[in-house]
């Protein structure tokens, strides 16, 4: 298991991209729009992990609601695991509350 990326909710991807490019000394290596989530993302490599900046693309998106409720900041930590269903069972046994009952199918490649 490894930390795949840290997701950070931001109000403005343009402003945040400028800040993170200065902070990390390099530009974003990937930007994408995820319509089903109502988000536009920008990724930065940081050693073995990544930082994902997330800007809402519509006011009903989870990111928009997160920022409205809690402000900008860390939205999620994504871990790479061998078997997501087994990991979810393990966490439930340890009394973790999972926000998703069924994992989203995501393929992450290097």
Which is nearest to 78 in space by CA: 38, 110, 44, 106? 106
pLDDT at 110: 46
Do residues 47 and 67 lie in contact, with contact meaning Cβ atoms separated by under 8 Å? no
Residue 33's contacts (CB-CB under 8 Å, 6 or more residues apart) are 39, 40, 41, 57
Q: What is the pLDDT of residues 21-67, one digit of tens each?
A: 999 999 999 999 999 899 999 999 999 999 999 999 999 999 999 99
pLDDT at 6: 97
Backbone dihedral region for residue 24 (phi beyond 0: left; psi -120 to 50: alpha; all else: beta): alpha
Integer Cα distance of 94 and 88 in angstroms: 10
């Amino acid at each position: 298991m490894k930390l795949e990326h840290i997701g950070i909710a931001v109000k403005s991807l343009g402003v945040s991209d400028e800040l993170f490019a200065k902070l990390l000394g390099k530009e974003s290596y990937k930007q994408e729009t995820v319509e089903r989530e109502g988000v536009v993302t920008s990724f930065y490599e940081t050693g073995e992990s990544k930082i994902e900046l997330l800007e809402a693309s519509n006011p009903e998106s989870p990111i928009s609601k997160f920022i409205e409720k809690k402000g900008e900041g860390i939205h999620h930590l994504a871990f790479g695991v061998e078997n997501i269903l087994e990991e979810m069972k393990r966490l439930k046994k340890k009394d973790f509350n999972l926000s998703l009952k069924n994992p989203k199918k995501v393929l992450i490649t290097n």
